[in-house]
Structure 1
Amino acid sequence: MLHNLLTPLSDEFIFFNLFRYLTFRSGAAVLTALVVSFVLGPAVIRWLKKKQREGQPIRDDGPESHLVTKQGTPTMGGVLILLAVAISTLLWADLRNGYVWVILFITTGFGLVGFADDYLKLTRRSHKGVSSRIRLAVEIAISLIAAVWVIHLTGAQLDTALAVPLFKDVLFDLGWFFVALMVFVVVGASNAVNLTDGLDGLAIVPVMIAAGCFALISYLVGNAVFADYLQLHFVEGTGELAVFCAALVGASLGFLWFNAPPAMVFMGDTGSLSVGSALGGIAVITKHELVLAVIGGLFVLETVSVIVQVASYKLFGKRVFRMAPLHHHFEKKGWREETIVVRFWIIAAILALIGLSTLKLR
C-alpha cells in the first residue's frame, strides 16, 4: 500500500524513491511483522487463554511427558502469525501484483481451515476436529482456484511448466496437469508443516528458514538481470513475493518469542496449515517446486516417517518407529525436547543451504 501511495511522489520528495526498491520494502516488512508480533502477542495470548481455559487437548496416546508439560497451553497462536504477515504485506507490497493476492488468498484460506479445525478440537475437548475428508476437500478447492489464478497470471511460456533444478534448459509443459501439481504441492506442504508442529519451537524455525530462502529465490527469479546471470527461468512479477516472504520471516521470529520452550502458545492448525500452504504456493509460482522438497526437507522427513509407520503397521503389523512423526520417536528414546528441537533446526539449516546451492549449480 505504501509503495502504491508514496512512489508517485518520489519526483517531488526524493526520500520516497526508497519505496521503489524491493530490498528496502522487504527489510521493512521483516521489522513491521516483528513489531506487530511483539505488540499484539501478549494481548492475543491473553485472549486465547481466556477462551481456552483448559488449553489445547493433549492426546492420550502421545508422549507421556506432554500430559504434564503441555497441559493448559493455549493453541490457535497462528492467528498472531496471520495478523503480522497480512498487516506487513498489505503495508509494504505492491498491491497491483496478482501473485501477492494469490498467496494471501492461499494463506488466509488454509488459515481459516486450520482455525475451524482448532475450534472444533477445543469445543469438543478432543484431538479430532474437522473430518479429514471435508478438510482435504476444502484444501483442494482453495488450491484449485489458486492454480487457475496462477496460470492466468504467468506468461505463456511458463504458465504450466515444471522446471528441473540443475538443468538450465529443461522445462516440462504439464498442460492442465500443472493444476494437479500445484494442488499436490500446496496441500502437501501445508500438512507436512502441520505434522512437524509437535514440540515447542520445532516447526516455526524451519518455516522461518524456508521463508528466508524463498525471499531470495523470489527476488532473483523476478529480476531479469539476476535470473539471466544465474540461468534461472525469469518469472515476471514474482520479485514482489520477496516482501511476503520477508513478512513471514518477521512474523515467525516474533512468534518464536512466545513459542520458545516452554511455549506460552502453540500455533495450532491455524498457523501450520497457513504457513505451509504459503511456502508451497510460492515454490510453484517461482518454478522451484522441487527445490522446496530440499529446503523444506525436514518437513518431508517428518511426513515420510508417518507414511512409513502407517504402511508398515497395516501391511506387516509392525512399527518402524517407536512413534510417528519422527520427533516423537526420539522423545520415546529419551531425548530431551530441547535437544530434539535444536538438532532438527540444524538439519533444516543444512538442507536449506543445499537447496540454495541449486541456484548456482546449472
Structure 2
Amino acid sequence: MLYPIFDYLDSVMDVPGTGVFRYISFRAGMAALLSLIITVTFGKNIIDWIRAKQIGETVRDLGLAGQTEKKGTPTMGGLMIIAGIVIPTLLFANVNNIYIILLLITTVWLGAIGFLDDYIKVFKKNKEGLAGRFKIVGQITIGIIVGATLYFHEGVVVREFTNPVSIEEGVVETPAFRDVKVAKTTIPFMKNNELNYENFLGFLGESVTPVLYILLVIFIITAVSNGANITDGIDGLAAGTSAIIGLAIAIFAYISGNAIFSQYLNVFFIPNSGELVIFCAAFVGACVGFLWYNAFPAQVFMGDTGSLMLGGVIAVLSLTLRKELLIPVLCGVFVIENVSVIMQVSYFKYTKRKYGEGRRIFLMSPLHHHYQKKNIHESKIVVRFWIVGILLAIITLATLKLR
C-alpha cells in the first residue's frame, strides 16, 4: 500500500528521499524488521488473548519425555506468523504484482484451513480436527487457483534476451528482449537445465498439458504443506526450518528478478519476481520472531494454522520461481519427515498381513519422535535438524553453478 504512495511522491512530487522505496533491498529490510516487531512485540498480547480464550493444545501421552508437560500450552500461534507475513507485505510490496497476490491468497487460504482444524480440535473437543477430505479439498482448490494462474495469466512470463545485458564504464547497455509465455522449469544439476512442460507433455495433446500441469501444482502444494504440518511436532522445528528455506528462496527470487545476475548465473529472468524478496523477508522475519516464543520450552504452538500455511507458501514460492524440482533438496527435512511416516505405516501394514503382527522401522514416526524415543533432548534434535536444513539450503544454492 505504501509502494504507490512513495512512487507518486518520488516521480510526481519529487520529494527528496522517497526514491529509496524503489529499492527492493530497502523494502525487504523494512518488511523483515516490521515482521519481527509484530511477532515479538505483539506476540505476547496474542498469546495472552489465546490463553484467555482457553485455546490450549490437547497433547496425547505418547510416552515421550516432556510431552505431558506441554498440555494446555496455547495453540493457534500461527496467527502471529500470518500477521507477520501479511501486514509487512501489504505495506512494502507492490500489491498489484500477480505473484504477491498469489502468495497472499495462499497464506490466508491455507491459514484459514489450519485455523478451522485447530478450532474444531480445541473448541469442539474433537481430537481428529477437520476431516482429512475437507483439508484435501481446500489444498486442491488453492492448487487449482495457483496452477491455472501460473499457466494462463498473461503476466506470468519468462524474459529472453536476444543480446546480453552488459555494463561498461558504469553504463548499462539496454538489452533487446522478448517476454515468452511458456511453462518452463529448472532441472537441477543439469547443464541444459530447462524443462518445457509443453514439450515434455506435448505428445498427450495441447488440451491435456495444462490439466497435468495443474495436477502437478496440486500435488506439490499438498505434499509440502503436509510435510510442514508433520514436521511441526517439537518446539521450534517447523518455524526454524521454514526460516532457513525462506532465506534460500529469497536469494533465488532476487537473482531471478535481476537481469544481470540471472544471465550471469544462467537462470530464468522472471519479470516482477523481485517483489517476492519482500514477501520472503516478511516470511523469514515472522518465522524467526515466532521462535522467540516457540523455542524450547514453547510458550505457544503454531498449530495447523501455521504449519499448513508455511508449507503451502514455500511450495508456491518455488513454483513461481520455477524451482519446484529443487523442493526435494531444499525442503529435505519436510520430505524426510513425510517419508518416515509413509514408510512406517506401509511397513506396519505389510508385516501385519504377512506375519500377523505389525512391525516398525522406526521407534516412532515422524522421524523427530524416533530420536525422542532414543532419549535425545528435543532441543538437540531441533538444532541438528536445523543444521541439516542449512546444509540442504547450501546445496540448493550451489545448483546455480553446479551443472
Question: For the superposition of Structure 1 and Structure 2, which TM-score range results when normalised by the shorter chain?
Answer: over 0.9
Calculate the aligned-residue CA RMSD, in Å.
1.4
* Counterpart-to-counterpart distance in 2, 1:163 and 1:358: 10
1:107 aligns with 2:107: yes
1:193 aligns with 2:216: no
Letter of the structure 1 residue corresponding to residue 144 of structure 2: L
Letter of the structure 1 residue corresponding to residue 9 of structure 2: L
Letter of the structure 1 residue corresponding to residue 31 of structure 2: A
- Residue ranges of structure 1 left out of the alignment (5+ in a row): none
1:215 — aligned with what?
A: 250
Give 1:158 deviation, angstroms: 5.5
Which residue of 173, 181, 194 maps to 1:170?
194
Give 1:169 deviation, angstroms: 4.4
Letter of the structure 1 residue corresponding to residue 315 of structure 2: G
* Counterpart-to-counterpart distance in 2, 1:166 and 1:298: 20
Give 1:336 deviation, angstroms: 0.9
1:91 — aligned with what?
A: 91
* Counterpart-to-counterpart distance in 2, 1:65 and 1:267: 20
| TM-superposition CA deviations, 1:157-185 (whole Å, max 9, x none) | 45422321233442232431211111111
2:382 — aligned with what?
A: 341
Which residue of 278, 283, 296 maps to 2:313?
278
* Counterpart-to-counterpart distance in 2, 1:318 and 1:161: 43
Contact residue 4 and residue 95 of structure 1 kept, 8 A: no
1:160 aligns with 2:186: no
* Counterpart-to-counterpart distance in 2, 1:69 and 1:262: 10
1:292 aligns with 2:327: yes
Higher mean displacement: 252-261 or 158-167: 158-167
Letter of the structure 1 residue corresponding to residue 36 of structure 2: L
3-state SS in 1 of match to 2:42:
helix
- Residue ranges of structure 2 left out of the alignment (5+ in a row): 159-179, 199-208, 352-357
Contact residue 64 and residue 373 of structure 2 kept, 8 A: no
Structure possessing the higher radius of gyration over alpha carbons: 2
* Pairing of 1:8-87 with structure 2 (within 5 A): 8-11=8-11, 12-52=14-54, 55-60=56-61, 62-87=62-87
Contact residue 150 and residue 159 of structure 1 kept, 8 A: no
Give 1:351 deviation, angstroms: 0.8
* Counterpart-to-counterpart distance in 2, 1:286 and 1:275: 17
Contact residue 102 and residue 150 of structure 1 kept, 8 A: no
Contact residue 10 and residue 18 of structure 2 kept, 8 A: yes
Letter of the structure 1 residue corresponding to residue 185 of structure 2: L
| TM-superposition CA deviations, 1:91-121 (whole Å, max 9, x none) | 1101121110001101110000000000001
1:350 aligns with 2:369: no
Which residue of 233, 241, 252 maps to 2:276?
241
1:131 — aligned with what?
A: 131
Letter of the structure 2 residue corresponding to residue 335 of structure 1: I
Give 1:71 deviation, angstroms: 1.2
3-state SS in 2 of match to 1:228:
helix
* Counterpart-to-counterpart distance in 1, 2:18 and 2:221: 36
* Counterpart-to-counterpart distance in 2, 1:150 and 1:286: 10
Q: CA, structure 1 residues 108+159, in 2 after alignment: closer, same or farther (shift >3 Å)?
A: farther
* Pairing of 1:303-342 with structure 2 (within 5 A): 303-316=338-351, 317-342=358-383
The structure with the largest helix share of the pair is 1
* Counterpart-to-counterpart distance in 1, 2:7 and 2:224: 35
* Counterpart-to-counterpart distance in 1, 2:66 and 2:219: 32
| TM-superposition CA deviations, 1:212-258 (whole Å, max 9, x none) | 11111111112222111100012212111111000011111110001
* Counterpart-to-counterpart distance in 2, 1:281 and 1:261: 29
3-state SS in 2 of match to 1:162:
strand
* Counterpart-to-counterpart distance in 2, 1:110 and 1:181: 18
1:205 aligns with 2:205: no
* Counterpart-to-counterpart distance in 2, 1:115 and 1:326: 25
Contact residue 57 and residue 127 of structure 1 kept, 8 A: yes
* Counterpart-to-counterpart distance in 2, 1:67 and 1:263: 12
Contact residue 76 and residue 267 of structure 1 kept, 8 A: yes
Contact residue 106 and residue 143 of structure 1 kept, 8 A: no
* Counterpart-to-counterpart distance in 2, 1:234 and 1:305: 37
Give 1:286 deviation, angstroms: 0.3
Higher mean displacement: 124-133 or 84-93: 124-133
* Counterpart-to-counterpart distance in 2, 1:147 and 1:106: 12
